[in-house]
Amino acid sequence: MPAKILVRYGEIALKGKNRGRFEQQLQNNLKEALKDFQATVEKMQGRFLVSGPKENRGKMVERLSKVFGVASLSTVEETGLDLEDIKMMALEMAGRVPTDEKEFKVETRRSNKQFPYPSPEVNKILGSHLLEHYPRLKVNLEQPAFTLSIEISHNRAFLYLDRVEGPGGLPVGITGRALLMLSGGIDSPVAGWLGMKRGLTVEALHFHSFPFTSRRSQEKAVDICRKLAAGSGSIRLHMINMASIQKELRAKCSEEMAIILLRRMMLRLAEKLSTDRGLQALITGESLGQVASQTLESIIVTEKVTDMLILRPLVGMDKKEIVNKAVELDTYDISIRPYEDCCTLFLPQNPVTRPKLDQVENQEAKLDQESLIKEAMASLETTLVKR
Ligand code: ATP
Ligand code: MG
């Protein structure tokens, strides 16, 4: 018998045509997540049923629990609709529960309204059956040590004891395509994850300053993408060298404006890449008021260089919440590795916190922007990072 896993998704907001698209995309993504295992993904009413080799059960659950759009999942045993079969399976499963877990309840969900017993009736029948065979057990509806759940569908029943939460959200690929500006810091990976959670296919762009920054900073970006790829299978990572631009900025422009000038160049390059790749929006890890480059005035002057939509999923989050999320996503330990980021190079002593657009543009007039952008684009390297 193969291992079976019941996959649930949030369906509340889904109506009409959207629902069909959501289900199709989710089914594709579930299959992709399981492609190393010989598994099948079957569509049922409001659920998917995954079947695959027993020895891979744990790994399959792990993979599926990271797929966006999955609300929760359970490893299940399947029986026919004969009540005696269900009772037998219930006994077998309760027999597997550690003997010190004595208090239990039975919970039934019946989507098949033809099934002759309503849910409360099934709960009672199975509950009494278990009590009869296992005198150590006791019913506790409020705080059971374990719950035996039964789902009755149109042609079979599923029984299970566990439930693993998924990330929720929308299946990746359903809302559009975006470019994540990925530094080596803590914030941008979390921002990318949140974008993916809302159904975006994400590509990443990392700016480095080799040889001023070591290869390690690029390795960090690769390692972070590998973690993010748990939710999508793979992430296309682009890298652009900012060394020449930074040298020019240092040679020709006012030091206290270096960061905002660098940021504006980054955005121009991100827009160029997005056009080439057909990406519709940018995602950054900016939030408000953390540092000089993230005052409202700085952000406004920075984003003036592009008409692209810039998503900033972290804008309402505290640093602590962001850090907690990064720890959960396993990107935190990579982000805090002490390798230099190109933004921390040539960091001015006193960066302007309230830049004026005309002053910034005066500085930029000293640069041969077109050739700098051309040179930077020529350094573009792209790799596909897999989970
Ligand atoms: P992070 O933790 O993501 O580095 P941060 O709080 O350090 O963010 P900043 O350094 O001001 O903030 O950067 C703001 C955002 O700009 C980053 O979240 C990222 O989206 C983008 N960014 C900064 N540096 C780079 C880089 N080297 N490559 C790509 N994007 C970058
Ligand atoms: Mg940073």
Mean pLDDT of the chain: 94
pLDDT of residue 165: 96
Same domain, 123 and 195: no
Domain region containing 12: 3-165
pLDDT of residue 338: 81
pLDDT of residue 18: 84
In the DSSP assignment, the letter for residue 65 is T
Look at residue 170 and tell me if it is in a domain. no
Q: Is 344 in the pocket of ligand 1 (CB under 6 A)?
A: no
Same domain, 161 and 245: no
Q: What is the mean pLDDT of residues 285-290?
A: 83
Q: pLDDT tens-digit profile of 302-314?
A: 999 999 999 999 9
Q: Is 302 in the pocket of ligand 1 (CB under 6 A)?
A: no
Q: Which protein residue has the closest C-alpha to ligand 1 atom 22?
A: 183
Domain stop point among 165, 198, 223: 165
Question: Has residue 157 got a pLDDT over 80?
Answer: yes
Same domain, 81 and 188: no
Could you say which ligand is closest to the alpha carbon of residue 314? 1
Q: Is 192 in the pocket of ligand 1 (CB under 6 A)?
A: no
CB 52 within 8 A of CB 2: yes
Please identify every residue whose CB atom is under 5 Å from ligand 2, which is an ion: 183, 185
Atom number, ligand 1, closest to the C-alpha of residue 242:
27
Task: Give residue 289 CA to ligand 2 midpoint distance, Å.
Answer: 13
Q: pLDDT tens-digit profile of 54-101?
A: 999 999 999 999 999 999 999 999 999 999 999 999 999 999 999 999
Q: Which residue has the higher pLDDT, 291 or 99?
A: 99
Atom number, ligand 1, closest to the C-alpha of residue 314:
18
Q: How confident is the model at residue 350 (pLDDT cuts 50, 70, 90)?
A: confident
Neighbours of 68 (CB within 10 A): 25
pLDDT of residue 198: 95
Q: pLDDT tens-digit profile of 56-67?
A: 999 999 999 999
Q: How confident is the model at residue 11 (pLDDT cuts 50, 70, 90)?
A: low
Task: Count the domains in the chain.
Answer: 2
Element (H, E) at 333: helix 332-335
Same domain, 145 and 180: no
Q: Is 213 in the pocket of ligand 1 (CB under 6 A)?
A: no
Same domain, 55 and 79: yes
Q: Which protein residue has the closest C-alpha to ligand 1 atom 23?
A: 183
Among candidate residues 374, 355, 378, 348, the one with its CA nearest the CA of residue 250 = 348
Same domain, 225 and 322: yes
Domain with residue 36: its CATH number is 3.30.2130.30
Mutate which of 186, 188, 207 for ligand 1? The one with the most ligand atoms within 8 Å of its CB, which is 188
pLDDT of residue 16: 76
Neighbours of 334 (CB within 10 A): 20
Among candidate residues 221, 251, 224, 261, the one with its CA nearest the CA of residue 341 = 221
Domain with residue 247: its CATH number is 3.40.50.620
Q: What is the pTM of this model?
A: 0.93
